[in-house]
Structure 1
């Protein structure tokens, strides 16, 4: 990219490029050079908007966490409508799409990134923790409406759902598993809790 040409929303352009690189090359292939080449910008563009590459990665994860926050609000608002299993199946498919799974791997692989995210106030296990909180909040709302058993332990059910679904999604390289496979996980985990 020639110098002096204004970029529209360079941060988002870099985030989008990072997601494409992550899908194609995995966490190990996600470098500042790979991101700027994918975005079609000079390497200096990244450093003009972020202190360093770990700062860029932290902002990328925080952007994803904000999306989980919006999804959590929508899921919470769905309490009392539709079928609980269907709501959770849809939420898990949206939450654990391939970029999200790739970002979780990235967070696990980079100590400095995890440290920066903790300083920013994320869950102990960024993205997975926020996803678990989203599911727990929804299950709590459904329990309050009587659609989940009053004695259901949502603090145990939520991480069980996230963990089981995450394992299912990691088996599928670059795409989501079949909806029926996700529904089976949700149905199995919630077998004793649905009313």
Structure 2
């Protein structure tokens, strides 16, 4: 491995390398060696920035959760425009078309990572819990606009949508679901 070569934004480079390994080879292949090899740096670089590999993985998950903020804001801003089904289907496709499915698999498969994440996120599955909050916030905004029934239980609909969409996208190696399939699921759940 190269040594003495400065890395710009080493954390983000390592996170990007981890995502590539995760998407290509799955959670079981994600090791500190695989990440640093993918990033083209010495193994010590990872340990210079993170206490241990589980700390690195926890920061990766938290970084990906933080990225939901922009998506949540855009979805809330879409309230009152387009169709509710279309907005939700697009948001769920964006969410699960990214690395989110692989991140959920990673969290589920690593006890040390889950334990570390439980320190700040005591309930739910990290990333999915925040995604459900994003959907619930959007549905509440649409309910206020009268585009979702006034008696709709958005706090129940949101995790139902997340779970149903997650099942559609869960096959890491297969083709993503057709847009029509996502719209049908959304329409059925909120119908």
- Fold agreement, TM-score > 0.5: yes
Q: Find the residue that maps to 2:99 and give its secondary structure.
A: helix
TM-score after normalising by structure 1? 0.93
Question: 1:116 corresponds to which residue?
Answer: 116
- Paired residues for 1:44-193 under 5 Å: 44-121=44-121, 124-171=124-171, 173=173, 175-191=175-191
**Residues paired across the two proteins, number:** 191
Whether the 8 Å CA contact 1:96–1:166 is kept in 2: the answer is: yes
Q: Find the residue that maps to 1:177 and give its secondary structure.
A: coil
Question: 2:8 corresponds to which residue?
Answer: 8
Deviation at 1:172, TM superposition (A): 5.3
Whether the 8 Å CA contact 2:101–2:172 is kept in 1: the answer is: no
User: Where in structure 1 do 4 or more consecutive aligned residues deviate above 6 Å?
Assistant: none
Alignment root-mean-square deviation, CA: 1.4
**Where does structure 1 lack aligned partners over 5 or more consecutive residues?**
none
Distance change >3 Å, CA 122–CA 19, structure 1 → 2: farther
**Where does structure 2 lack aligned partners over 5 or more consecutive residues?**
none
Q: Find the residue that maps to 1:33 and give its secondary structure.
A: helix
TM-score after normalising by structure 2? 0.95
